[in-house]
Amino acid sequence: MGLADLLAHVKELADALGLDRALAVRKSQLESRLTVLKANEEAARGERTNAEGAAARRKVAQDKRLESYDAVFETLREEQEHLDRLYEPLRARLAETGAKLSFDVGRVVDVEAWVAQGEGLLDLRRTPFSGQEYLLSEARTHLLQPWTNGTSEEVRLAMRAFLERNGGPALASLLQGVTPADLGEWLFSTDHIRVRYGIEYEGVPIANLSPGTRGVVLLTLYLALDEWDFRPLIIDQPEENLDPRSVYADLVPFFREAAQRRQIVMVTHNANLVVNTDSDQVIVAIAEREHADQLPTVGYVAGGLENPAIRQAVCDLLEGGEDAFRKRGRRYRVLATP
């Protein structure tokens, strides 16, 4: 074989080798692309499977959330029961006294706060939430009663029904940036529900009473529960901020009952309290000023209501004067009937 032939053969081999290299590169590129396509196909298959099972998984997750919700209300119920047992002696004692006081244990629900939080997650231009106070009406109609008085089972059923009516529309009405998880956190929140317990006066919590009435409640509560205490009791102006009816109806019976077992010292400007409580000893303070630029001279007159001087001093202060005193005196046998 001549040199020319050898050179031609070498060129053929080089060309073949270059083709093999190009094929190898092409093969590598195709294999890489195939790997990506297989990965994409696997991901698509997973997404399809995930989508096909989303409804089922959502229901499972919702059921678990409802079970936890149920557990929260079961805990609230147990708390109420413990408080009822703890304060039963107080409730019984208040009932025995015939006072207008009662002890109440119950759930307090701030439904407006719950609704306001939910509306902050939704586009209120979307139906059905575009209706005037739609969410508030739904909550008051279907959730408020179970939240306030229902068992944990009743609460769970009410919330499930609420979700069936409003869950889908709520998901479709979420504001931008709000996630379904945010919606779930709001729906199953219980920050707006608490157990309240305390004393009520004629069905009104103490905190909502006027200062004068609140003072009556606290004083009558103390007098009603202090039957174990025989120490002297000093009270300063119990009639302050009270109308005469409240003084007579709410204070006098407790003072007369408490006076049977302990000494009561009372400072008052209300002569009705002096007479109606059948005071054993009355001290009348008299302040007289001889000159305008001098301090008054203070003197005291003491004695029972049978004492004419004491009786006259009381009559001078008593609304209705001596006639009113005589009527009260006959009623309580302070004075003999003329």
Span 267-306, pLDDT tens digits: 988 877 888 888 888 998 888 888 888 888 888 888 888 8
Residue 130 pLDDT: 87
Q: What is the CA radius of gyration of the chain?
A: 43
Dig out the tokens for 214 from the structure: 């609140």
Beta carbons of 273 and 295 less than 8 angstroms apart: no
For every residue of 221-286, DSSP letters joined together read: HHHHH-TT--S-EEEE-TTTT--HHHIIIIIHHHHHHHTTTS-EEEE-S-HHHHHHTT-S-EEEEE
Residues 40, 186: Cα–Cα separation, whole Å: 36
What mean pLDDT comes out for the span 164-190? 92
pLDDT mean across residues, the chain: 79
Count each helix (H run) and each strand (E run) in the chain, helices first: 14, 7
Whether the pLDDT of residue 226 is over 90: the answer is no
Residue 65 pLDDT: 77
0.95 cut: is pTM over it?
no
- pLDDT, tens digit (0-9, with 9 covering 90-100), for 23-43: 556 656 666 766 776 677 667
Task: Give percent of the chain above pLDDT 70.
Answer: 73
What mean pLDDT comes out for the span 309-321? 72
Whether the pLDDT of residue 337 is over 50: the answer is no
CA distances (Å), origin 79, targets 76, 83, 85, 121, 150 = 5, 6, 10, 32, 14
Stated length of the chain: 338
Better-scored residue on pLDDT, 12 or 133: 133
What mean pLDDT comes out for the span 71-82? 87
Which amino acid, 19? L
Residues 47, 54: Cα–Cα separation, whole Å: 10
Better-scored residue on pLDDT, 73 or 338: 73
N-to-C CA span, the chain: 168
What mean pLDDT comes out for the span 91-117? 85
